[in-house]
Structure 1
Amino acid sequence: MKRYAGFRLAAILLLLISAPFCGAAEPGIVSEDESSLTFRQNDGTEVILPKRPGSTVICYSSLVQVWYAAGGTAVAIPAVPTRDTLPEAARGLPQLGTHNTMSAEKIMMHRPDLVLLNDKLPGHRQLRRTLAELNIPAACIDYRNYRDFREIFELFRRLNGSGASADAITGKVDALCAQARRLPSPAFASIYIGVGIRAETDRANAACMAALLGGRNIVPPGRSSRGPFSYEQLLLRDPDVIFLVTTGNVAGAREVFRKEFEARPEWKSLRAVKNNRVHFLPPDLFLYLPGSRFPEAFRHLAKLLYPDQEFIE
């Protein structure tokens, strides 16, 4: 009898421990009707968003491309170093400052029906809570790399009541990746030069695309997009090609690159350096997520990964 009671107690404890993990709901669209849509964020919060909003403020630049491709328009956007990263129709819009300096006061000036924020920024998550207290519909969107694109496009399409389809974009990408993955896999390193130097995992935009094209990242998978950079590991793993992702200040990044990489005598021993396969990637395609320009970004990267290969478009 005591043995039975012990088993029963252990089973109850196991259920109590595992319940929070088993019951976690997936983020995404929960329900919708003619006028609104309920969206569950990464933190489990469900927010009600209006369909066909007349006035949308976008607080994260990479969301602008997707919103416009899915049939939307905006009244204000964040500041960007170059407007080339924006859809042409959005290039003349008022800019609210950088994504790190957004405030409810700046947003309220545009009387929004909907505000789109970035889930990975703590300041944006707090801003959503502030906007909720002001009865302004807002959502934090988790948009880290190409793998998130189709789901976000579908959310935005349904919010805008649009007949737009992501297939024209993703179909080109899928066809290109299928061709590339039939080729021998080159080893690559993707290095971010901004506030410091960081190594990119496959969760980062450029590294994600290179991996989908069949490349092998020398940086192991991680929970975050970027991790500590090790010059010693770069020399040890000696990739076939090196990608450099920079902030909008490309000139400043090139100076950092000259001092931290080219000035070291062992730099010239790397295979990628010997074969002229060290590439600065254009920020408008790789620092920012390019949205409708993803096929262009993938083609650019495919030619760098497989310089001797002709791809059928």
Structure 2
Amino acid sequence: MHRSKRLLRILIGSLALILAAGCAQTTPPDSGNQNEESKAVSGQEQSKQSITFQDDTGRTVSLATQPKRIVVLSPQLLDLLYAVGGTAIARTSATGGNVPEQAKQIEDIGGITTVNTEKLLSLKPDLVIGSPNFHRNLATILDTSNIPFAMFNLSTYKDLKEKAPLLGKLSGSESKANEELAKLDQRIGQYVGKVPADKTPTFVMLNVTPSSVSVQRTNTVGLEVAKMLKMKNVAESLEAAQNSQSTAPYSLEKLVELNPDYVFILIHGAKEAGEKKIQSDLSSQPAWASLRAVKENRMTVLSSDLMLSNPGFRLDESVAYLAKLVYPERFGNGQ
């Protein structure tokens, strides 16, 4: 009897030692695995939040998290940012530039070419978005202040298709940007599908500023819209200007030689100043009247809002506008 009790005590003691040893062995490995898993999850979350991309000047922009304090220096890019669901804390102003209703009350930091850098830096933005044409000189200032800076072109439909999803990603609304692009494609297709297949009208598109006249060669929204409508730009083969690959120097003699079906004019800046330039440098010249487009009343000053600056998700309005001018029998009177 005593022997049985003694054996029972020995068995119970051994079992207790085994259980204690088991607990001591399993706790540290589990804790270590949990730490490693936590680190992995944390790394994945940080990876999802960080954004890295290349702008149109070749600069690599890396953001640790989604930006919350964005300053936009280009009216077109500001409009697109808001169209994809984003917001900004400050903007510039430009003659003729449309400001989204929601952005009218945000900080104004000067003109598109006269940015108040002191004011810009004081806002402590976590991303500044500008244009290569106007804002390259700000790169050094912003880099020195460790403020991420990206410069984008927004001239063509291709630019729009690239920039809308990126701005959507920066705003946390990439799906909205892609949805809007799909809708735009569909709306444009409704016009392009009705263009007469047996016609390829020729044209020239002129830029008129208060001080100069130039010819559009390539890579502008107006030329791209015309191409959608199966029009041929006879100035595309002209030699590019020294300071701009997208334009060629204006020559009335060359224009008479090309003699396109249509002459389109786009006024940059103040309308009155542009109209004076058209009168002095174009319509008052005797050879101007000899152009087929002038004689047949196919010379038109186009809407700058729709044909000079990329109108973003309203690009179908640009297509409709030009389609009515060129194919009135198919799309109605464009006047």
TM-score, normalised to structure 1, is 0.81
Aligned to 1:33: 47
2: distance between equivalents of 1:87 and 1:53? Answer: 20
2:289 aligns with one of 231, 245, 268: 268
2:233 aligns with one of 209, 217, 226: 217
Aligned to 2:118: 105
Q: Secondary structure at the match of 1:108?
A: helix
Matched, 1:248 2:269: yes
Aligned to 1:129: 140
Matched, 1:301 2:317: no
Aligned to 1:206: 222
Any residues of structure 2 matched to 1:43-62 within 5 Å, and which? 43-49=57-63, 52-62=66-76
Check the 8 A contact 1:76/1:94 in 2, yes or no: yes
Q: Secondary structure at the match of 1:288?
A: coil
Matched, 1:90 2:103: yes
Matched, 1:76 2:97: no
Any residues of structure 2 matched to 1:8-23 within 5 Å, and which? none
Return the offset for 1:52. Answer: 4.2
Structure 1 counterpart of 2:233, which letter? N
Return the offset for 1:116. Answer: 0.4
Q: Secondary structure at the match of 1:154?
A: helix
Cα 1:34/1:181, change in 2 over 3 Å: farther
1: distance between equivalents of 2:106 and 2:329? Answer: 42
Q: Secondary structure at the match of 1:54?
A: coil
Q: Matched residue pairs, number?
A: 277
Q: Secondary structure at the match of 1:253?
A: helix
Aligned to 1:186: 201
Return the offset for 1:206. Answer: 1.1
Aligned to 1:19: none
Check the 8 A contact 2:155/2:309 in 1, yes or no: no
Check the 8 A contact 1:79/1:97 in 2, yes or no: yes
Overall identity of the aligned pairs, in %: 29
Check the 8 A contact 1:58/1:64 in 2, yes or no: yes
Structure 2 residues without counterparts, runs of 5 or longer: 1-45
Aligned to 2:78: 64
Structure 2 counterpart of 1:41, which letter? D
1:126-149 deviation digits (Å, cap 9, x = unpaired): 313321221212211132222211
Check the 8 A contact 2:252/2:288 in 1, yes or no: no
Check the 8 A contact 2:252/2:287 in 1, yes or no: no
**Which protein is bigger by CA-based radius of gyration?**
2
Q: Secondary structure at the match of 1:33?
A: helix
1: distance between equivalents of 2:246 and 2:326? Answer: 21
Check the 8 A contact 2:74/2:92 in 1, yes or no: yes
Return the offset for 1:192. Answer: 0.3
Q: Secondary structure at the match of 2:330?
A: coil
1:204-261 deviation digits (Å, cap 9, x = unpaired): 2212221222110011255722221111111111111111111230111011101111
Aligned to 1:141: 152
Aligned to 1:235: 256
Cα 1:301/1:154, change in 2 over 3 Å: same
2:212 aligns with one of 177, 196, 208: 196
TM-score, normalised to structure 2, is 0.76
Structure 1 residues without counterparts, runs of 5 or longer: 1-31
1:150 aligns with one of 142, 161, 164: 161
Structure 2 counterpart of 1:202, which letter? T
1:260-297 deviation digits (Å, cap 9, x = unpaired): 11111222221111222111112222222111211111
1:107-156 deviation digits (Å, cap 9, x = unpaired): 123332211011244xx223133212212122111322222111100111
**Greater share of helix:** 2
Structure 2 counterpart of 1:294, which letter? L
Return the offset for 1:94. Answer: 3.5
2: distance between equivalents of 1:142 and 1:288? Answer: 11
* C-alpha RMSD over aligned residues: 2.2
Check the 8 A contact 1:48/1:137 in 2, yes or no: yes
